[in-house]
Amino acid sequence: MDFDSWEPTYLKILADFGFSRKGDERAALILSRMLEQGQSKVKVKVEDNSAGILALANLIYGKDILVCGNAPILADELDMIDTSDYVVITADGATAVLFDRGVVSDIIVTDLDGDVEKEIAANKKGAIVIVHAHGDNIDKVKKYVPRLRGVIGSTQAAPLDNVYNFGGFTDGDRCVYLAKEFGAASITLVGFDFDDVNVSDMKKKKLKWAKVLIDAL
């Protein structure tokens, strides 16, 4: 992802939600320092993080990717497919839905707002975890990153040496951007309901942006 290309969209999102760019940048810096200082169970230096990026590329490039959002329709849609046919990327809370069905995500994209205990359990079973730092989740980053192994950091602001910007805004559309960034052969979405009326106004706005960003791909 070329940040210069992403930045105009990022600025529109900040303006629409009233979010602080400084908050996002501070969160990314805190996550970066945690990774550099080895505050997760497995120390993540810049070179180790690069190895993590290579692992992502090996998992995704040329593969059929299943991206799982966490809308209520997820369970029903999973009944209609065989997850073993895909590399599975889950957006935050969707991880727990699959885990409870005996399916361990290959990649978890999370801002630590879902069932983090299930995400930690999946991570112990081999799931790669991409932790997204933003201005509103610094406390969760500090709390949970030390319990995860080999974290890859992400941000929606300017990237750092070990905190990447793959594009996207919500957990769901960031999964899609990640798959696109690393050359997926195909991307199938389940558990996405952009018109869900049973959510807060804030969530409705986020879903609107998720649809806009995914459509842009």
User: How would residue 38 be classed by pLDDT, with cut points 50, 70 and 90?
Assistant: low
Arithmetic mean of pLDDT, 30-40 = 81
The reported pLDDT for the residue numbered 1 is: 76
User: How would residue 55 be classed by pLDDT, with cut points 50, 70 and 90?
Assistant: very high
Higher pLDDT, 108 or 39: 108
Whether 46 shows a pLDDT value over 80: the answer reads: no
Whether 44 shows a pLDDT value over 60: the answer reads: no
The reported pLDDT for the residue numbered 51 is: 53
Cα–Cα distance, 196 to 180 (Å, whole number) = 25
169, two tokens: 């805004």
The residue ranges of every structural domain in the chain are: 3-215
Which among 82, 81, 130 is positioned nearest to 106, based on CA atoms?
A: 130
Contact 195, 158 (CB under 8 A): no
User: How would residue 49 be classed by pLDDT, with cut points 50, 70 and 90?
Assistant: low
Arithmetic mean of pLDDT, 111-120 = 96
**Coil, helix or strand for 54?**
helix
CA 157, 213, 7 angle in degrees (round to 5)?
30
Contact 91, 207 (CB under 8 A): no
Whether 152 shows a pLDDT value over 70: the answer reads: yes
Which residues are paired to 68 by β-bridges? 90, 190
